[in-house]
Structure 1
Amino acid sequence: MKKILLTIAIVFAVLLVAAAAVPYLFKDQIVAKVKSVINQKVNAKVDFKAFDLTLIRSFPKMGIRLNDLSVVGIDSFANDTLANIKQLQLDLNLMSVIKGETYEINAVSLQEPTILAKVLKSGKANWDIMKPDSTAKPADTASASFKAALEKYNIEKGNITYDDASLNFYLKAENLNHSGKGNFTQDIFTLATVSDIEKLTVKYGGIPYLNGVVLDANLPLEMDMKQMKFTFGENKIKLNELVLSAVGYLAMPNATDMVMDLKFDAQQSDLKNFLSLIPAIYAANFKDMQATGKFGVDGVVKGTYNEKSIPTFNLNLAIKDGKIKYPSLPSAINNIQVKANVANPDGVLDHTAVNIPAFHLEFGQAPLDGRLLVKNPMSDPFVDMALKGNLDLKQLTTIFPLKDMTISGNLQADVQAAGRKSSVDKGQYQDFKASGQMQASNFLYKGKNVPMPVSIPAAKMTFSPKNITLSNLTAKLGRSDFQANGSVNNYLNYVFKKNQLLEGNFNLTSNYIDVNELMGPNVVQESKSKEEVPLAIVEVPANINFNMALKANKVKYDKYDISNARGALQVKDRTVYFKNLGLDMVGGTIKMNGSYTTVNPKKPKVDVDFGMEKVDIQQAFNTFNTVKLLTPIAQYAKGSFSTNLKFNSDLDDKMMPIYSSLNAEGLANIIQAIVDGFEPVNKLANTLGVSELKRVEVNNLKTKFRIEDGRLKVAPFDIKVKGISMNVQGSNGIDQTMDYDLVLNVPRAMLGSKANDLANSALASLNGKLGTNVSVGETIKINADLMGTFLKPSIKLKYGAGEGSASNAAKAAVNQVVEEKKAELEAKAKEKVDTLKKKAVEKATQEIGNKLKGLFNKKKKDTL
């Protein structure tokens, strides 16, 4: 017995060692062949982080495991990842590995794959990555390295997307688990598949037919591999709570065609099962909902599907005697009656028709009736629809569970439309019948998740083929109120054709508009916090052309309090145009023409001509950041000003100017102002020893200016302060730096006796040397440079020290006087010399003339 046990142990150990050793013996050979096949056969970027071989986990098969496998396309799909698979395992027939000729793949397993199958409008598919077959024999060897002999496959936690732009078809399966078992080595066999999908979305033509539904399916298929025909066995497909079954087959006789003959219907005919497909209903209290009535759906799909044709189909849906009620609420939707048919008789997509001849339901006791017919959807859509009903919105709260929400009011609708799109395209509105009206009264909508309460006491819309007329609209959104009337034009073209303008003309009046509240819910918290709430970019919509006449008594925008807003707005080409817009704010009136555009939504621009009349300086400083940054002197000024300003700039994501891009020019008129306590002015006064400069009074001062490269550049202007005249020009920046040139004419008496004595002594010395008599004069000219920053200014005088006491400034002033008078003295001395020279020349000339005259007279006498 011991020998037997020992023998068994030895054999078992050998097997374990062999199971562990065999993968290593063949690893290099298999890896080489895997890479060889990939490199020779695929037009794509294929990569994997780890390669592992195992026999123990997959015995009696040998397992190949690739971790973090990715396949990225090239050319048209260079930015698309076809596949990203956390783990791919292939189980190989062990004997085929040992023989080393052709490796048979018996099983495939994909763990957490993310797969994007994409087809362009041209029909080119991103999975078509195999290189064309070569006639060279080495390629034949590579292609024979692996052979599919599948017995099973499975996908765990997969995310699969199929996006086909050529067919306008989209499918997405999230958290997919799928497995299949069958002997693929046989020509005819049964493939048993089991699938479950957490969220399945299917769209065709942009319409979501399934939107995030749960799918469970047991679907056996009879596989005929020679004929490529797949026949459905007894099956069950569950979509949310709706259970379907299908019979028939799919066949792929060639590379381009898919032939099908399928019939399907619902195995259960309860209305509640159908309602489970509606995401909003399924997600909210579906289990508690009571739904009675009969639901039926059946369909037939038969024919060939390829690039040129689709199968014929006929789908029927019906709801009879339906009722929906939540047990916790008193009322219900009663008497639901619907019949619908979607059919295509010949496989031509344009011959598809959607027909709902009538539907009826009752919200409590209030009926809603309608119909819909759509034909020729591709070439020239024909629509025939009607809707009529009177709905008490408050009754909805007795039918549907609306948590943390209040809604009330009455909606009346009676609209009809019938006609072809071509009639609209040609402007033949008489051939497209559209009429009726919708009316709202005492509408109120508010709740926890509603940014602001919406109240519409009255509104009426009247429909015609040409326009929708809005009349008698009174509304209140949060703290804002509106009264409006007008019309929307070209709405049929806008609905039926791409890139058509929706046009409108409106008159809007209001007592109060809170733009902050309308732009975002966070602004409502402004009253609870003193912190400023940053604004966000307001994107102007495309494909509309609205003209609006505006009149509002009061407007709140950012921290601006505006009154008597009036003018016109036009919204066009992603741009808002301001036309003669007038605003009373900051103590004066602002008139504005210009535009705000979001052609590039990430980089909005503003280009405006401002006219500001009699604006209060202090209010402007406290209101406008641009004034704070570029004219900080306004903080120390009291008074009013007017200006005409042309202004353009890019805006940042908080709707503030990007100062490096800001350009502006204009004319400012300081009507009346007093500047007191401004540090640069104080510095100048202290440097010159002229205290009168510390308090500056200005009246009717006009100057030109421009803003560029983040600096305010001021053209030369003159100002007079208590007998001191001053010429100023220069610039300052948003970095608070200054660079101003000042020329002052200061009364000599203001500089003190010491300065006068120094000036008189210096001039007396020069007068003595040059023999002139020039006096100092009553005023002294002083040149100064104002530099530094607004908080730390520096004064540099042209003649003398840049910084210092008043005595140093006096010396500098005297030096400047002497330099300027020196030129005057030299000019007068030169003038004196020139005068003496002139007199000498004149005297010499006269004497020579007299002598010549005497000489000529003498000769004349001698001749006689």
Structure 2
Amino acid sequence: MKKWIKYSLIGLFSFLILFVLAAITLPMIFKEDIEKLVKEAANEQLNATLDFEGTELSLLWTFPNFAFDLKGLKVTGQEEFDGLKLADVKRISLRLNLFQVISGNYAVNSLVFEEPKFYVKVLKNGKANYDIMKTDSSATVEEETSSSESSDFQFALRSYQIIEGEMTYDDAPNAAFLQIKGLNHKGSGDMSLEQFDFYTSTQMQSLQLNYDGVSYLNKAVVDAEINIGVGMKEGEMSFKLLDNALQLNALKLGAEGTVLMKGDDIIFEELKFSAPNNNFASLLSMLPAAYIEGFESVKTSGDFSLNGAVNGTFNEKSYPAFNMALKAANGTFQYPDLPMGVSDIGVDLKVNSPSSDLDKLTVDLKQFAFKLGQNPFSASLFLKTPMSDPDIKSAVEGKINLAELSKAFPMEGSSMAGLIEAQLQANTRMSYVTEQKYEKVDMQGKLGIENMIYLMEGMPDIRIKKMLMLFSPNDVDLQAFDLTMGKSDIQAQGKLDNLLTYFSGDKIMTGKLKVTSRLLDLNELMGDTTTTSEEEMAATNMTDTTSSINEDELFDRWDFAADFSCDKMVYDVYEMKNMKAVGKFSPSRAKMSNFELLINKVDIKADGQLDNVFGYLFKNELLKGELNLYSNYMNVNQFMTEDGSATEPEAAPAPADPSTAETAFEPILVPANIDFHMKARFKKFIYDVYQLDNVAGDLRVYEEKVEMTNLSCNAFGGSIILNGEYNSQDPKAPKFDFAYDVAQLDFAKIAEGVPLVATFAPIMKGMLGKFNSKFSLNGILEPNLYPDMASLNSEGLLETFDAVLKGSTPLKGLSQKMGIKALENIEIQNTRNFFKIKDGKLTVEPFAFTQKGIDMTFGGAHGLDQTMDYDLKMRVPKAMIDNSVIGGATQAAGNLLASQASKLGIKVEEAAFINFAVDITGNLSNPKFSPKVLGAEGKSGESMGDQVKDNLKEEAEKLKAEAEEKVKAEAERLKAEVEERARKEAERLAEEAKERARKEAERLAAQAASSEEAKRIRDSIETAAKEAADKILQDKLNNPFGNKNPFKRNK
């Protein structure tokens, strides 16, 4: 027996040691593997990135409870929510009973969140950042199987706690914003039971609630003890309010009743709320700006009561009945540090909706009154039948001295002065207004402001010298408005028609406004905006940002005729003068009959229209426009420099390496989300180092590119027609693709004014005369505005007339090498020269010409490094050869040529013409010549000479035929490209013509006396529209090029 006891004790002791060692070591051994598996598994299932700093597993110190701690949990959004953290939790602590887990009953003793931050954001399209689970087509089947197989599974949470939490809910579709800071909350109850009591305690240091542009709570303090009797049956949940107390700022609230949840229904059973044991100070504390630090020291008096009830079913089709009554009488308050108070405060408000029919709702604000200094102010409102035909009776009367208001109400960081006076009354039904039965509308009064001053830290001073609005049933007459904001000023006059129809929700407010300004400093008015939170910054930087104001509802129903003028406007680095804009403006369209602006020397005049203006400003939607643009002086350089300076064009030397050349300009980035069709006319146009005169053409700005059609101008002594596009979709490497048709350009002027020409053809600097050319040019721009030479491609035709090449280094060297003075200056008359630029090399197709009796063919290539590889063939009259260079000359070159002639058996002294081939290599500054004798013509060399001459002519004809084939092939390629563009443009014009015809048909049909006449009108107009659209399409396809073809031959 003793041995048995001994061995039993030894065995038990060994077991305890092994248990302790296992409890300590097992979590440590497998910790890293477990963490890695959890992260990988989670990220495979989430449309988000989950990460955490580490975990802690423990059983020894918490036995019989199992402890699990997760540290530094972060869930970060992807795609539209990139960078926005859905969750950021310092620590999550979980305690489970080990023995209950083994038995299958997962009883969570406690769940604690330390310093959690949650940011929920719903975009305007309804997509929410919490919807992060990846879809699984097999989820339904698996869920049903799992449910049936694990019906015995039990899970219970006994208590949970949130310590110093922060929560933000940002809902764009519903224009709702809720933010809680300093949240401490705990709850407990046996949630494994069907019936249990749930106890909660909540404290919030700051609660902010904005809805539909109105701030209902601003940094409110919350303290709540709420106990709920919870019932959980299959398909039904019930919540009965037991002992509870809620305090918002100084307002204490209580409630009783039951809420049931059945399917999609929420049923309120005698839910009542009230504000017991309160006074006027409780109501005052609910004003967002009134509840400040030290509020308990505010002197108040007066009575206050609040009660209400909700009873009935709420779902998609039904509303519960509800009522609410709020009353305050004899209210006064005065802040301890302010010299004045507010007295005679009275509020009497009743809201009653007796059934689910909201048209039976009534709002009765019998009194809203107060007295500030010696000035009383009062207002009243009665509303009934709000859904079918709102019936409104309201009145406002009184004066507010803003200087006295700033002495009576806390306004930290701001101050006010001035007088506001209102005398308004309205008594009408909405149907009277929408049906323009103005004789039944009682609306009259005035609203005035005089000498108003509003000063606030960090904002421009606001001063309204005078504003006066007169109200009548027909319109609101803005007789005067004189505003200054910082350095800026605005004066306005006008009328707003049918103001009340605006509140009907489906009518458009119209009017006329005349606005003038001496100075608008937009830099000062726009100021700087900053965010303080990483989550707020990420949310703000997303394409869909939520404003506290619902622009769609507030600003989408007006159409004003406006006349705006401004002497001086400052924006960014630009100073604009003499701005004028006359036209009709609405959220969807700005139609300008006249627009004028002067920026430095740049004058701009325009007319046309812009569509979807507010969609572009507030929703990042497409802005469309049809504009006519005029300018006497357009200097684009000032829009390409950081300081907005407008530099004049200057001749610039060609850089040795264009990729490293420095410039003050940057490539222009075409804005996204715009689609403009513009007809441009510029008398003088300056871009970089170029000056163009009489610029005219059609532009389309869309998809971050500019497409130019028949853009013509005068430059470099001649004329230019340009077609093609500039594409900045890749801002680091903008592309260009142009086709040019130039006429009578001056060689010397273009060589001096175009660095690209100086880079590829520096020999042009020595040329006199003019030329025509038709060529294509495409490539990529470097950040310094020079083309990336490796990407540059060009092909075309250059025609010369009376051109002369003088004094170039290669010509001088050739003349000296050959001993022919006639080669020092070459006249290039009536030639057609085909060239190509590719892979950084200029290639000139061989062409034939005659120089002072010398027949020549010339062709070859040279690169960016100026290295040459040209071939020259000449038929030279023997009389032009100096000192008989070939016939026994004393110079080394002459000896070489004499030696070559003798090898060919040519008697040079008897020849009338010498035929040469010269290989020209080296570079432009140090050319090298390798001449060869091909033959001679004359008495002794007639046969060989004839053969050489015939060979030269045959070669010239062959080169000509090859060149023509290349031009034809390139023309076909370009034709196909332009036909495609023409087709797209024709289809657009045809669709627009059809749309205009459809709208005209609808307008005429609406005026028709019968449905048969309406149908006849629609059919006839639609037939005519189709014929017109087909003609537009056919015309474009029959003549897709217009004047664009750069390779067409002159007849």
TM-score between both structures, scaled by the size of structure 1: 0.65
SS of residue in 1 equivalent to 2:290: helix
Aligned to 2:338, the other structure's residue is in SS state coil
Which one is further off, 229-238 or 366-375? 229-238
Q: Secondary structure at the match of 2:826?
A: helix
**Structure 1 residues 557 and 731, CA, compared in 2 at 3 Å: closer, same or farther?**
farther
Q: 1:814 to 1:188 in 2, by over 3 A?
A: closer
Q: Aligned pair 1:293/2:310, yes or no?
A: no
Residue equivalent to 1:305: 314
1:416 matched to 2:425: yes
* 2:247 is the alignment partner of 1:238: yes
After TM superposition, give the deviation of residue 361 of structure 1 in Å: 0.5
- Please say which of residues 481-490 and 127-136 is displaced more in the overlay: 127-136
Alpha carbons 2:397, 2:422 under 8 Å: kept: yes
Q: Deviations over 1:427-454 (max 9, x none)?
A: 5555554332111222233343322x33
Q: Does 1:21 align with 2:29?
A: no
Q: CA deviation at 1:553?
A: 5.1
Structure 1 residues 412-438: Cα deviation after superposition (integer angstroms, max 9, x where no partner): 111223334444444555555433211
Please tell me whether residue 385 in structure 1 is matched to residue 387 in structure 2.
no
> Which of 226, 240, 250 is the aligned partner of 1:219?
226
Following superposition of structure 1 onto structure 2, how do residues 330-341 of structure 1 map, counting pairs within 5 Å? 330-341=339-350
Q: 1:336: Cα distance to partner?
A: 0.5
The one-letter code of the counterpart of 2:607 is N
1 CA distance for matches of 2:324 and 2:683?
74
5+ long unaligned stretches in structure 1: 1-6, 524-538, 637-648, 681-697, 720-724, 747-779, 830-864
Amino acid at match of 1:55: L
C-alpha offsets along residues 560-619 of structure 1, whole Å, 9 cap, x if unaligned?
A: 666655552443345655433345675796543346775534687887544445x6x9xx
Cα-to-partner distance string for 1:225-277 (whole Å, 9 max, x where unaligned)? 56954433333211122222223333446673433323332233222222222
How many residue pairs are counted as aligned between the two chains? 708
Partner of 1:489: 497
Provide closer, same or farther for how the CA distance between residues 807 and 509 of structure 1 changes in structure 2, counting only shifts above 3 A.
farther
Amino acid at match of 1:97: V
Q: Is the 1:293–1:322 Cα contact (8 Å) retained in structure 2?
A: yes
- Indicate how the Cα distance of structure 1 residues 179 and 344 shifts in structure 2: closer, same or farther if over 3 A, else same: same
Compare 16-25 and 147-156 and name the one that shifted more.
16-25
Is the contact made by 1:743 and 1:781 (CA closer than 8 Å) also made in structure 2?
no
Residue 360 (structure 1) aligned to one of 348, 369, 394? 369
Moved more, 17-26 or 239-248: 17-26
1:269 alignment partner in structure 2? 278
In 2, the alpha carbon distance for the partners of 1:630 and 1:550 equals 30
| Cα contact 2:581–2:595 (8 A) shared by 1 | yes
Query: Which position in structure 2 is the counterpart of 1:190?
Result: 197
- Partner residue of 1:180? 187
Quick one: distance in 1 between partners of 2:201 and 2:388? Answer: 41
Q: Residues 58, 741 of structure 1: CA spacing in aligned structure 2 closer, same or farther, 3 A cutoff?
A: same
Q: Give the 3-state SS of the residue equivalent to 2:476 in structure 1.
A: strand
Distance 1:182 1:542 in 2: 51
CA–CA separation in structure 2 for the residues paired with 1:454 and 1:184: 58
Q: Does 1:668 align with 2:656?
A: no
How far apart, CA to CA, are the structure 2 residues paired with 1:741 and 1:380?
Answer: 82
AA partner of residue 683 (structure 2): A
8 A Cα contact 1:713 1:730, kept in partner = no
> What is the one-letter code of the residue matched to 1:600?
Y
Structure 2 residue aligned with 1:816: 827
Q: Distance in 1 between matches of 2:86 and 2:350?
A: 38
SS in 1 for 2:190: coil
Q: Is the 8 A contact 2:629 2:680 kept in 1?
A: no
Q: Which residue of 1 is the match for residue 709 of structure 2? A: none
CA displacement 1:316-374 (0-9 Å, x = unmatched): 21111111222222222111011112222224444333321111111211111101233
Counting only pairs closer than 5 Å after superposition, residues 459-498 of structure 1 correspond to structure 2 as 459-497=467-505
- Give the conservation status (yes or no) of the 8 Å contact 2:804–2:828: no
- Cα deviations by residue, 1:535-572 (Å, 9 ceiling, x for unpaired): xxxx9976543322244555556666666555524433
Provide Cα deviations, 1:156-183, integer angstroms capped at 9, x if missing partner.
Answer: 3445577999999886544433222333
CA displacement at 1:315 relative to structure 2: 1.6
> Which amino acid in 2 is paired with 1:456?
I
Match of 1:281, SS?
coil
Structure 2 CA distance, aligned partners of 1:184 and 1:341? 40
Q: Tell me which moved more, 706-715 or 429-438.
A: 706-715
Residue 546 of structure 1 corresponds to which residue in structure 2?
A: 560
Instruction: Determine which structure has more spread, i.e. the larger CA radius of gyration.
Output: 1
Superposition CA RMSD, Å: 6.1
1:112-127 matches, cutoff 5 A? 112=116, 114=118
Give the 3-state SS of the residue equivalent to 2:295 in structure 1. coil
Equivalent-residue separation in structure 2 for 1:153 and 1:699 (angstroms):
80
C-alpha contact (below 8 Å) 2:106/2:156 kept by paired residues: no
Match of 2:593 in 1: 579
Which is worse superposed, 232-241 or 47-56?
Answer: 47-56
Instruction: Call closer, same or farther: CA 1:812–1:590 in 2, change over 3 Å.
Output: farther
Is the 1:605–1:650 contact (alpha carbons within 8 Å) kept by the matching residues of 2?
A: no
Residue equivalent to 1:749: none
2:64: which partner in 1? 60
Quote the residue 1:514 is aligned against.
520
> Who is 1:91 aligned against?
95
3-state SS of the aligned residue for 2:582? strand
Matching residue within 504, 508, 517 for 2:511 = 504
The alignment partner of 2:326 has SS state of strand
Question: Is the Cα–Cα contact under 8 Å of residues 426 and 442 in structure 2 kept in the other structure?
Answer: yes
| Residue of structure 2 in register with 1:849 after alignment | none
- 1:600 corresponds to: 616
1:650/1:662 contact within 8 Å kept: no
- Are the counterparts in 1 of residues 519 and 566 from structure 2 also a CA contact under 8 Å? yes
* Cα distance in 1, alignment partners of residues 469 and 72 from structure 2: 59
Structure 1 residue 396: deviation in Å? 2.0
Query: 1:709-720 to 2 correspondence within 5 Å?
Result: 709=726
C-alpha deviation, 1:289, in angstroms: 3.5
Q: Is the 8 A contact 2:375 2:400 kept in 1?
A: yes
* Secondary structure, aligned partner of 1:397: helix
The DSSP-based 3-state class of the residue aligned with 1:279 is: coil
Q: Which amino acid aligns with 2:404?
A: Q
5 Å matches for 1:110-149?
Answer: 110-111=113-114, 112=116, 114=118, 139-145=147-153, 147-149=154-156
Q: 1:84 to 1:553 in 2, by over 3 A?
A: closer
Matched AA of 1:181 = S
Over 3 Å counting, the alpha-carbon distance change for 1:429 and 1:286 in structure 2 is farther
* 2:697 corresponds to: none
Q: Are the aligned partners of 2:299 and 2:333 in contact in 1 as well (CA < 8 Å)? A: yes
Cα distance change on mapping 1:465 and 1:59 into 2, 3 Å:
farther
Which residue identity lines up with residue 114 of structure 1 in the other structure?
Answer: F
